[in-house]
Amino acid sequence: MREANNANASIRFLDQEPDCIAVVPSAPSFVIIGTYSLLGDSDGEGNSGRKGSLQILSFLAPVTQTKHLDLDRKDFPFGIYDLHFHPRDTDLLGVATSNAEILFFRLRTTQDQAGSLRTIELREIGRVIVEEPHDDDGRLAIVTQFQFIDTASAPALETEAENSSGSIEVLLATTTQFGNTKLLKTILTTADSGFESVSQRLKAQVLDVHKQSFDLEAWTVLSLPVPSQDSLLVLSGGDDSQLLISRVGVPNRPTSNLDLDTITTKQFLTDKRSHTAGVVTICSLGTISPQAAADPFQSESSSSTLILTGSYDETLRLFILTPPSATDPRCTFKLLGDLQIGGGVWRITLLDQYPRKSASGLLEGLDYILLVAGHTAGVFIVRLSATRFEHDSDDRTIAEENGWNYAFKVEKTFTEHDSLVYAVAAKRDEEKPWKWRVVSTSFYDKKICNWVWNGDQQQP
């Protein structure tokens, strides 16, 4: 790895192409980056071979700061396409691959006698197959994205994180290159024994979520709990510009007793009109109620959810999703606003959200701070401002029907990257909470940039 510096960023270069990234929850001064490299025509039929890696790196650029550390690296004969830490079991890492699998790792750290961090190590604890080989030619599917479903936010799925046998049940939503969306359940060990078996194939239950698959690759997936109905809503986006929404009915029982073969699914909505190119990312901003002034972001009385989508058509879109209820069987998905951002919107991360107040302390609105990977146009920090709408006229737009007006504003554009921006992450400065430290990567030039965005110094 070589280093360079300029006035705008501290820059490093990897030996492989980076495409996904996550801040290490138990050691937030470090990130883990997934890579993949195409190896050319390996089978005579136009299908390229791949290799990839997981690399743990210092969040900040200077390598000299981490020379005393042993930072793990794993290399694979396949590409890495997505990675996430479990939302509650934060040393559990899931990794999506180009050979139809999700791999699971335990992250372990050790300290020296003075209490300083000495090593960060990844130990594989198993892997599951997401999709069987393609019927026509035997090809393995790329697992394009996945999400850990946090059972703590879905009471019907809630279970103890670890049971007496030293295992943990995990539930995942995934998408694949063959246009499918899957729900997957498996059981992982939490014990230290057996970690050396890096190729252990685990049993898993797999369920097709949508009755209809995408015509092309499925790129992105998001699950939303609907606790009042013991169900999940699963949203998926595909390369054919479609967005699909299905309800997954979940019996009111612990995950350990959950049999995916008994679960019912119902496809509520197929959106073919909102996007003019592939839908590649979906992000939830949480439930919102126009009456919830005391707690405007989360309201038990509201089931409507703000949803952001990103597309190859270079547009960031805001929707309001209202699931079916006992009084209304419809699932509605309405556009509230959009932002032409350029370059394609590959990833959206919600960094922060907070109420916006006047000098006298009155609530004026809500602000959401977004980190956006702009694919060919760099990285964007975007502010989405929601302002309470007061109007007695019957002439209302869709945005105003929910009691709010929404406005996008680009706060910062970072353009040091010379190729496709896939992976971005950020963390808040511990001493200055308005400051965000960002690490962003670009694919073909294998570049990693570290830079800073100074946000609202007056924010709560």
Domain residue limits, the chain: 3-289+296-348+414-454
Compute the distance between CA of residue 54 and CA of residue 19 in angstroms, rounded to an integer: 11
* Share above pLDDT 70 across residues of the chain, in percent, rounded to a whole number: 78
- pLDDT for the residue 347: 97
**Between these two residues, 313 and 113, which has the higher pLDDT value?**
313
Checking if the pLDDT of 346 tops 80, the result is yes
Residue 362 corresponds to which amino acid?
L
Lowest mean pLDDT among 101-105, 193-197, 336-340, 351-355: 193-197
Res 297 pLDDT > 70 = no
The CATH code of domain 3-289+296-348+414-454 reads 2.130.10.10
Unique residue bearing structure tokens 């929707």: 319
Higher pLDDT, 338 or 161: 338
Q: Which tens digits make up the pLDDT trace of 371-395?
A: 999 999 999 999 999 987 665 555 5
Question: How far apart, in Å, are the Cα atoms of 376 and each of 202, 294, 344, 351?
Answer: 38, 40, 7, 22
Q: What percent of the chain has pLDDT over 90?
A: 52
pTM of the model: 0.88
pLDDT of 111 above 50: yes
Interval 245-262 mean pLDDT? 69
| Region 56-82 average pLDDT | 80
Residue for token pair 């979906």: 282
Query: Which pLDDT band, with edges at 50, 70 and 90, does 148 fall under?
Result: very high
DSSP notation for 231-274: EEEEEEEETTS-EEEEEEE--SS-GGG--GGG-EEEEEEEE-SS
Per-residue confidence band for 110, with pLDDT thresholds at 50, 70 and 90 = confident
* pLDDT for 252: 52
Residue 147 has pLDDT above 50, yes or no: yes
